[in-house]
């Protein structure tokens, strides 16, 4: 797909077909992620590729988070989640995605290095979600599951010196959500030109 069209047509997908994603395609996406720029060329990212019964265990953690969140808040429109019920449905099994990818970095005691690695891993994440869209695959960049980061560490046996940057389901979209309108689409307030 033409690059500018690809960037604008990528959506956060919350409903997936159960059809598996081949290892070859997962590797293609992770290779793109691995080509992201990184602070001091540290290339600090690591990826956990989760499938099968592991997803159920991950979902239980996220469903608890969403249950607590939705019991306090009435969802009007977070992205394409139109209701508490839809949000809970997504949370209960990551939208039936056959794969969930978890992006990790090493913990740093220096907050500047921590921030730089977080930015680098986010660049990798963006490469990943765009590459996925290019193959007709859906993703949903998520930090909500990190409300139970300790729980995720236990479930996935993640070492204590690592932290989770984000999580995304990966799979073929069951439906393609409508674009979420951009705030300030004409970029009148978001850009300051210092000329
Ligand atoms: C850092 C980050 C964290 C996000 N966390 C979540 C999340 O926890 N759950 C979720 O359903 N969507 C999450 N999203 C997806 C956003 O809701 C989504 O990108 C936004 O609504 C715009 O929709 P679009 O991606 O389809 O353009 C996250 C996105 C980003 C970049």
Tell me the average confidence (pLDDT) per consecutive run of 10 residues in the chain, 195 residues long.
95 96 98 98 98 95 87 72 83 96 97 98 98 98 95 96 98 92 94 96
For ligand 1, say whether the CB of 176 is within 6 Å of any of its atoms. no
Q: Which domains does the chain have, with CATH numbers?
A: 3-171 (3.40.109.10)
- Please report the pLDDT score of residue 169 as a whole number: 98
- Please report the pLDDT score of residue 172 as a whole number: 98
State the Cα–Cα distance between residues 81 and 130, nearest whole angstrom: 21
- Please report the pLDDT score of residue 165 as a whole number: 98
- Please report the pLDDT score of residue 33 as a whole number: 98
User: For ligand 1, what atom is nearest to the CA of residue 13?
Assistant: 26
For ligand 1, say whether the CB of 124 is within 6 Å of any of its atoms. no
- Please report the pLDDT score of residue 71 as a whole number: 82
Strands (E), the chain: 46-51, 99-106, 138-139, 162-171
User: For ligand 1, what atom is nearest to the CA of residue 81?
Assistant: 11
């Amino acid at each position: 797909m033409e690059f500018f069209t690809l960037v604008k047509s990528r959506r956060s997908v919350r409903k997936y077909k159960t059809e598996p994603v081949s290892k070859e395609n997962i590797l293609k996406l992770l290779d793109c992620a691995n080509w992201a720029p990184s602070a001091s060329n540290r290339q600090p990212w690591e990826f956990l590729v989760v499938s099968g019964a592991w997803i159920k265990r991950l979902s239980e953690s996220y469903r608890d988070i969403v249950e607590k969140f939705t019991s306090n808040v009435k969802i009007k429109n977070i992205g394409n989640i139109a209701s508490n019920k839809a949000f809970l449905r997504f949370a209960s099994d990551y939208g039936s995605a056959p794969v969930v990818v978890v992006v990790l970095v090493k913990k740093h005691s220096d907050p500047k290095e921590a921030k730089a690695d977080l930015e680098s891993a986010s660049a990798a994440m963006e490469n990943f979600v765009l590459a996925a869209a290019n193959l007709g695959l859906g993703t949903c960049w998520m930090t909500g599951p990190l409300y139970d980061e300790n729980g995720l560490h236990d479930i996935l046996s993640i070492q204590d010196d690592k932290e989770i940057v984000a999580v995304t389901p990966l799979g073929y979209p069951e439906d393609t959500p409508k674009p979420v309108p951009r705030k300030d689409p004409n970029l009148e307030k978001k850009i300051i030109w210092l000329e």
